[in-house]
Structure 1
Amino acid sequence: MDMLFPSWPLMVAFFAASVALAVTPGPAVVYIITRTLAQGRGAGLASTAGVALGNLGNATGAALGLAALFAVSSLAFTLVKYAGAAYLVWLGIRALRARDAAPAEARFGDASLRRIFRDGFFVALLNPKTAIFFAAFLPQFMDPSASAPLQSIALGAVFVVIACITDTVYVMAASMLAPLLSRMSGAASAGRYVTAGAFIGLGIFTATAGGRGK
């Protein structure tokens, strides 16, 4: 146990910092809220799970040195960055081409939720800034006398769980607003354009953001 987590004072500081960072809205939160408003609570929860798994992959990658590769190789960082941006833009184009009134089973069927989970996973995984973030954030709370990779994976998993909880709160709040928005005249058509615009905007933001921080 001591090999995985730091002393309690450091662990408390880690929890506090993780909660503060997790509740701050970022691209992942915007993505999850957009999915929830467009496709319902089930889609939002599936997106949250997919994003969490993708972030866990980035935490593991940071522990295994992937973040170091991105830090020294601009080409590797840029390729993954633009791949993630292109994926978001593709999701936006797909939303733009979708019909205004999709049947409930198309929104909440098992196949649809699997696809939404997959989309969330790749959106998070194809964000090299997340690996850089974990590589910069986690060492602040690690014990130098213990295994760095094990601590990095363990602390990364804790952060992902915290972020998953806060993202779920965002989903629940957005799902409560969705019925009100759906009753507004023209909401279906407008929602399609807002959804597409949000995804495409996130893709452009991801592609043009200059820094490598989260």
Structure 2
Amino acid sequence: MNTTTLAAFLAVDLLLVFTPGADWAFAIAAGLRDRSVVPAVAGLIAGYAGYTLLAVAGLVVIVASSATLLTALTVLGAAYLVWLGGSVLARPAALSAATESAASSRRQIVLKGVGTSGLNPKALLLYFSLFPQFIDPAASWPVAAQTGLFGTLHMAVCAVVYLAVGVLARTVLKTRPTAARAVTRASGAMMIAIGAFLLVERLTR
């Protein structure tokens, strides 16, 4: 695999990751509400790790070839975003309220992160549409190795960007509780809007 292909993939991947969406909204909400943004980002990365393993195993091709299964996954992901956004709106950020058990809270946050990225339709686009464009079957690297490398690069980019987003949200808005609540509500509304759009777009095809 040559460096030109890797550079091209990173350029497109960075563009996708830097585009605000459900992952951004989740990282921002976690940065404002939780003691640490690390569990949230770890959950997001774990969701993408699952996709990477499926891609390496070749199962992504099977899913992509089934319109019914792809639609079902997209609808499930969109519905999850709507539910998660509603949960965020129902409980805006309260930076001083961390009364839950730390271990229990971290587990819940990680699982929500896995659900957010694992059911994120952007992941379907990335793994089902973008990856195949950069994989060269004639290259010296096996297809599985190329796929694994792209997945690993994507997870690394996500980890850096989402940690920065969460930490910046927490740092900038830490002393501004009113603004923090407004941003959290906006994040929740963004999740609902994205989920609703995807539901309408997929179900009206």
TM-score, reference length from structure 1: 0.76
CA distance in 1, matches of 2:93, 2:130: 42
CA distance in 2, matches of 1:56, 1:200: 25
Alpha-carbon distance, 1:130 to partner: 1.4
Instruction: Indicate yes or no: 2:141 matched with 1:113.
Output: no
Instruction: Indicate yes or no: 2:97 matched with 1:103.
Output: yes
1:1-214, aligned counterparts within 5 Å? 6-37=1-32, 39-40=33-34, 42=36, 44-98=37-91, 103-106=97-100, 109-145=102-138, 146-182=141-177, 184=178, 193-194=185-186, 196-210=188-202
Structure 1 stretches lacking a partner, 5+ long: 1-5
Alpha-carbon distance, 1:27 to partner: 2.6
CA distance in 2, matches of 1:99, 1:134: 33
CA distance in 2, matches of 1:131, 1:161: 18
Percent sequence identity is: 26
> CA distance change for structure 1 residues 61 and 131 in 2, over 3 Å: closer, same or farther?
farther
Give secondary structure in 2 for the equivalent of 1:144.
coil
> CA distance change for structure 1 residues 92 and 147 in 2, over 3 Å: closer, same or farther?
same
CA distance in 2, matches of 1:75, 1:140: 23
Alpha-carbon distance, 1:152 to partner: 0.5
User: Contact 1:59 / 1:153 at 8 angstroms: preserved in 2?
Assistant: yes
1:126-146 alpha-carbon deviations (Å, 9 max, x no partner): 235513422332233334233
RMSD over aligned Cα atoms: 3.0
User: Contact 1:89 / 1:199 at 8 angstroms: preserved in 2?
Assistant: yes
CA distance in 2, matches of 1:153, 1:64: 10
Give secondary structure in 2 for the equivalent of 1:105.
coil
User: Contact 1:41 / 1:171 at 8 angstroms: preserved in 2?
Assistant: no
User: Contact 1:59 / 1:131 at 8 angstroms: preserved in 2?
Assistant: no
> CA distance change for structure 1 residues 128 and 62 in 2, over 3 Å: closer, same or farther?
farther
1:7-61 alpha-carbon deviations (Å, 9 max, x no partner): 2332233333333332232332123223323x1461x332221111111212322
Structure 2 stretches lacking a partner, 5+ long: none
User: Contact 1:35 / 1:47 at 8 angstroms: preserved in 2?
Assistant: yes
Give secondary structure in 1 for the equivalent of 2:20.
coil
User: Contact 2:89 / 2:184 at 8 angstroms: preserved in 1?
Assistant: yes
User: Contact 2:64 / 2:128 at 8 angstroms: preserved in 1?
Assistant: no
CA distance in 1, matches of 2:136, 2:7: 14
Alpha-carbon distance, 1:166 to partner: 1.2
**Alignment coverage as a number of residue pairs:** 200
User: Contact 1:63 / 1:135 at 8 angstroms: preserved in 2?
Assistant: no
